[in-house]
Structure formats: structure tokens, C-alpha cells
Structure 1
């Protein structure tokens, strides 16, 4: 089919139709940035042809060179057959207006915390200028650390991850945004390497997928590092450890913000006495909680 396409498809419009058909035929999963086969096809084609990602219409009837056609068909084929997330094919992921380098050493960024950082965590952080130290726990690609640095201009930021491979990716993103002087990358298993440090703000998007959910994940997620997704039998292993230890690493007025996926009910049932504040995101208030230091379980 792909060999036939090389001789019969000519325009970007032709390729867009072909890609949507192949993606639907392959029953791809779109949970890494795009919402549909059409959106993903448009993104991959525009990126491969070095065209503006928000300007599809003017180019739809443009004819492609033989080389361009082969390049686009190659990336369509890999997405459809190997079920590789688009971000790994383009080495690019977006959070709002920020673009980050990614590859298979890190999960594809998709944190709700990124939305909250655009507003400097308002109204929960009343005075952003008073955030002088911040920690991004389980930083992965470093994307949230970069957003932290932009949201809180006076903050010195530590960003940690258990994976040295992930920290290599994070270093590239920190360097790309010229934030080496603001963001300190460290290898650490949660708080293990941070003894004696205190932060006005700790954010974390830790692993939170249960064993049952891991077994049922679509093929696209199998390309992501397992240790960045799986968190024990019920998905709360990392979150429990964070709740148990965070008070020792927060300043007196410090704030903890953690993303936990679909685990709100289970978390509240286990920590009945903990007064979680659930933060509103674009898809509801079930995914990110906030606690002040004195609210953490003892």
C-alpha cells in the first residue's frame, strides 16, 4: 500500500487523507498530544515538511517532491504500524506555548500541572515573588521545571529523577531554554538525595498507573519508560511516599502539588483525615491535589 502511495499521491491534501485512513485502520490511540487521527496526521505532515504547525490550509494543494513524499510516507508508516507516539517520531512535545525535546528515555509530557503553572498557581500561591525555592520531583524531560522557572522568576529550582537517562533529556531542555543558572538537575529516588533541603513549593507528576491499568495500556504507551508510569499494585506507591516525606522538605508555609491520574477516590479513602484541595484543570478537579505543610499526614 505504501509503495503504491508513492506513485499515486501528489499533494499534501492527498497525504492527509491517506494518513487519516491508515491511522483509523490501525486503531491508533491518541493520548500524547493530539485528539484525533486528523489532528495527528496534520501535525506529522506539517512537522516533516518544516511548515508552520498552525497553517495547514494554504498548503493543502501543494505538490510534494519525491523526497518529501518519501519522508512523509515513512513517518506515517511508522506511526501506523509500530504505534510509536508522534512525539517520539518528531522529538517534539508541546505544553501550551512551550516546545520540549523528547525521546523514549522519558514519557511524553502531558501534565495538568502545566496548565496551573501558566497562572502561577493562582489563587493558591498568593504572592509568586515569595517563592524562592522550588522542587520538581520526578522531572522526566524537565518540562515542568522549565515552566516553574518561567512562572516564578525569583525561584531557585531543583529538578530530580531516579533515571539518569531521563536527566540527560532534561539537561537538553534546560539548556535549550538557557536555564542552567536557575535549574539544578539531580538524580534522586524521590526525596532520597535531598536531605537538608527545604522548598517553598514542591510539584510532582510521579508514576501513578496501577498494575491492572498497566496491563491494559494501548500499544503507544509501551514505548514509554515503564518506571515513569507504574506505581505498584494500586498506582499510589509513589504518592504515599511523597505524602509521608514531603513535610520534611517544605518550609513552614510551603505548598505541595501532586498529580495522581484517576486515583482520587482511592487516595481520599486511604487518607481520610487529610484535607486535600483538588485543583481545577481543563478536564475537572480529580487529578491534581494541593496540601500545605501543616496539612500533610503525620
Structure 2
């Protein structure tokens, strides 16, 4: 029996990924993962016949992808801030829009000579790793309630040599009493409990605790905002990611908590994705 060539299997995979919004990209990523090769090799060897065992594995992964399993979970890999991160179903898949949060923290961090930064709900460690890379002189504490998530974050911190990041098991601010930070940031859960978007196949494979926060999606944000002033230095900043349509609500929550200079930053899709405010001096 004649073996399929790499190009033919890529074409089949792309056509078969009927539930994917980016079938060509997904097929390419799955083939790279199974063959353990890079883009250049795949381009140069598209006429190479593929081993039947590799073909069978790719076909199986295509089936999993069609059932809604994110590519990041199938390959245990996700790019964020040009860093390759280890991920699995214990953590939320890092999204490109969260880089807006990183940019906002970096912009505010310039105000401090040696910033101390607290990240709440670190998950895979994506945000902390990005900040560590850009501000190696910062002292960063990254917390999560999930021990499974912290185990993934530990792998990623080690992979990227983030010696200035300390991981800590905590439910938001628990265990941090008496400590003060120049910056507090978080990408907390912000989806409403009955939001129809939760029916999306991919979201059903991600940890619900990292997605859902009460009836209107703002329970975690309210708690973080209400408690954060006690953990910020005067003049320190709180930076929060939220849904594309929550900016006005989050700004109102921050204003009511007596934060100043409250405003929002847009993501690459021109949505108000991150809101921030400063504790008065």
C-alpha cells in the first residue's frame, strides 16, 4: 500500500477539521507535534512519505480536535509572549488578548525602580514568565489556588529560567497578609455562569474555575478590587483583564473602591480588554 506524503496528510487533516475555525493552522501544529519537527523541516519535506504509525496518530488527534479538545492540550504546548509553554487541561489555555495585560503592567512598571509584582491566579505561569523576561530586576509573586496549576507553572518557570518569580498556593490574597506590592495583576475568571459561550466545545475542556465567576461574571473582580488596596503601596497599580464588554462595569467597581486614574486598554481586536487603576498616594 502506497504511503501518504506529508503534503497529502496535511491536506486531509485540514479538510477533516470541520469544527475548527483555523483548520490549516491546527493541521500544521498537529503534524509538527507528531513528527517532532519545526516549520522549516515540514516545508522542505512535504513530499516525504509518512510513517503509518505517525499517520494513525495524526488521524486520532484530528478526531480529538473535532470533539473540541484544544490543540494546546493535544500538543501540550502554547506560545505566549514568544515563549513556548507547557499546558494541559489543568490550566486555562493562554490567549493572545492576555498579552494586552502584560503590556499594561510593563507600562506601569516603568514608574518603579525595583517593582514588586503580585499576579493572582497564575495558571500556566504565562503572565509571570512574560513579566520576568521583560523586567528581570522585578520581584514577582505568582499565586494560584490549584496545586495542579502551580505544578504546570513550576515546569514553565524552570524552562524559562525565571529565578525572580516565586510561586505560592493562595486563594487570591490569603497568606499575603502584611505584604505590599507596587503592582497587582490578574486574568481572573470573568464569564457569567449562564453565558451561552460556555457551550463552545473548546471551553468545555478547560477548567471551569478559571472561566466562570458568578451570575454576571464579575464576582472575582469585585473581590480582587475590594481587597487589593490593602496589598498595594500608595501609588501602586491594579491591572485586570476582563471580557470585551465589561470595561464600564469594571471601571465603576474600581472607582467605587476609590482607585484613581482608572481607564481601560484595548486589545488587538480594538476591544477594551484590560482596566487599571491606581491606589491614591
TM superposition score normalised by structure 2: 0.89
Determine whether 1:83 maps to 2:77: no
Whole-angstrom distance in 2 between the partners of 1:139 and 1:120: 14
Answer whether contact 1:278 1:287 (CA < 8 A) is retained.
yes
Q: CA deviation at 1:120?
A: 6.5
CA offset digits 1:174-200 (Å, max 9, x no partner):
122222x32111111111221111111
CA offset digits 1:230-256 (Å, max 9, x no partner):
000000000001110111111112111
Worse-superposed segment, 14-23 or 139-148: 14-23
Worse-superposed segment, 159-168 or 113-122: 113-122
Answer whether contact 1:278 1:285 (CA < 8 A) is retained.
no
What is the 5 A alignment of 1:1-298?
Answer: 10-24=4-18, 27-28=19-20, 30=21, 36-53=22-39, 56-80=42-66, 82-110=67-95, 112-115=97-100, 117=102, 121-122=106-107, 124-127=108-111, 130-179=113-162, 181-213=163-195, 216-262=198-244, 263-268=246-251, 276-294=262-280
Whole-angstrom distance in 2 between the partners of 1:170 and 1:215: 27
Whole-angstrom distance in 1 between the partners of 2:51 and 2:94: 33
Q: CA deviation at 1:54?
A: 6.1
C-alpha RMSD over aligned residues: 2.3
Answer whether contact 2:225 2:254 (CA < 8 A) is retained.
no
Q: CA deviation at 1:268?
A: 4.2
Quick one: structure 1 residues 175 and 226, their matched pair in 2 at CA, closer, same or farther if it must change by over 3 Å? same
Quick one: structure 1 residues 145 and 75, their matched pair in 2 at CA, closer, same or farther if it must change by over 3 Å? same
TM superposition score normalised by structure 1: 0.85
Whole-angstrom distance in 1 between the partners of 2:213 and 2:105: 28
Whole-angstrom distance in 2 between the partners of 1:213 and 1:55: 43
Worse-superposed segment, 59-68 or 153-162: 59-68
In structure 2, what is the equivalent of residue 33 of structure 1?
A: none
Give the length in aligned residue pairs.
277
Answer whether contact 2:104 2:265 (CA < 8 A) is retained.
no
Whole-angstrom distance in 1 between the partners of 2:268 and 2:134: 19
Whole-angstrom distance in 2 between the partners of 1:277 and 1:215: 26
Whole-angstrom distance in 2 between the partners of 1:111 and 1:16: 25
Gapped regions of structure 1 (runs ≥ 5): 1-6, 31-35
Whole-angstrom distance in 2 between the partners of 1:265 and 1:153: 33
Q: CA deviation at 1:214?
A: 5.7
Answer whether contact 1:9 1:15 (CA < 8 A) is retained.
no
Answer whether contact 1:201 1:254 (CA < 8 A) is retained.
yes
Gapped regions of structure 2 (runs ≥ 5): none
Q: CA deviation at 1:131?
A: 3.7
